[in-house]
């Protein structure tokens, strides 16, 4: 297990032009989360849900990783066994930056899957039809995304990783979807860094060793320097 967890949310991709929940002008402004991102919406609102993820997938094609993704890739290259990247994001910017074994807790937008037989296909940046059929079991395929209210099987892996980690770094997450204070409380983390643009009501920032309210691209050099200093001292 890795000594360092880099745990990210929508804010890490904001500087690449992918909007967070609260940003204006993004896809989230055109759609209501309850219509397209809630358990059951494929049954009650299939066409709009498929369209929403189609738009997100197509738009992702031209989006590029930013300095934060690239600095994390360099850090992972330097310490391949010590750095675990865990993200709530469904975009592929870590992968485009060259990062390895990224744990996507809430799914991956370039994939479609079959809930019935477990079939998964990476379709890149292409849109799909509302009623695309699974080649194995003829069920309808869906975006490989976890909607609010659905089980999140990858949380088991998250908790395993958290159990052994010594440094916990949060970049660009408001703590509303996953409570990062709770993750900290169930771990034996020795050093924690919280980097967001601003204070969030869902996070008690007094719990974190270091708090940086700045753009991730402006904070990442300090974050990487802290991690390297820690790893050099323990190795």
Residues in contact with ligand NAD by the rule CB under 6 A: 9-11, 13-15, 18, 20-22, 88-91, 106, 172-174, 176-177, 195-198, 200, 215-216
Asked about 106 being catalytic, the answer comes back as yes
Q: How far apart are CA 6 and CA 58, in angstroms?
A: 27
Q: How far apart are CA 72 and CA 129, in angstroms?
A: 36
Min CB(201)–ligand NAD separation in Å? 10
- Helices (H) and strands (E) counted in the chain, each on its own, are 10, 9
Which one, 13 or 187, has the nearer CB to ligand NAD?
A: 13
Q: Looking at residue 202, what DSSP letter applies?
A: T
Annotated catalytic residue, options 69, 104, 106, 131: 106
CA distances from 76 to 126, 144, 146, 192 (A): 30, 26, 27, 18
Min CB(49)–ligand NAD separation in Å? 15
Which one, 9 or 143, has the nearer CB to ligand NAD?
A: 9
Which one, 10 or 75, has the nearer CB to ligand NAD?
A: 10
Task: Could you list the beta-strand ranges (E) of 160-206.
Answer: 167-171, 191-196
Min CB(135)–ligand NAD separation in Å? 27
Which residues are marked as active site? 106
């Amino acid at each position: 297990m890795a000594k360092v967890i880099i745990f990210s949310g929508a804010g890490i991709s904001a500087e690449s032009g992918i909007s967070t929940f609260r940003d204006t002008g993004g896809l989230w402004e055109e759609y209501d989360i309850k219509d397209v991102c809630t358990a059951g919406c494929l049954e009650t609102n299939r066409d709009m849900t498929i369209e929403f993820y189609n738009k997100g997938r197509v738009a992702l094609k031209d989006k590029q990783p930013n300095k934060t993704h690239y600095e994390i890739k360099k850090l992972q290259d330097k310490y391949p066994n010590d750095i675990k990247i865990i993200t709530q994001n469904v975009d592929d910017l870590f992968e485009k930056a060259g990062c390895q074994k990224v744990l996507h807790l809430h799914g991956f937008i370039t994939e479609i899957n079959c809930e019935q037989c477990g079939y998964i296909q990476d379709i890149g940046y292409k849109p799909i039809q509302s009623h695309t059929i699974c080649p194995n079991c003829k069920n309808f395929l869906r975006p490989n995304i976890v909607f609010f209210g659905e089980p999140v099987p990858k949380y088991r892996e998250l908790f395993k990783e958290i159990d052994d980690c010594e440094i916990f770094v949060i970049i660009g997450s408001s703590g509303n979807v996953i409570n990062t204070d709770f993750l900290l409380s169930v771990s034996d983390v020795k050093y924690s860094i919280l980097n967001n643009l601003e204070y969030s009501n869902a996070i008690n920032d007094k719990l974190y060793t270091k708090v940086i309210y700045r753009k991730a691209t402006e904070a990442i050099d300090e974050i990487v320097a802290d991690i390297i200093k820690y790893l050099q001292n323990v190795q």
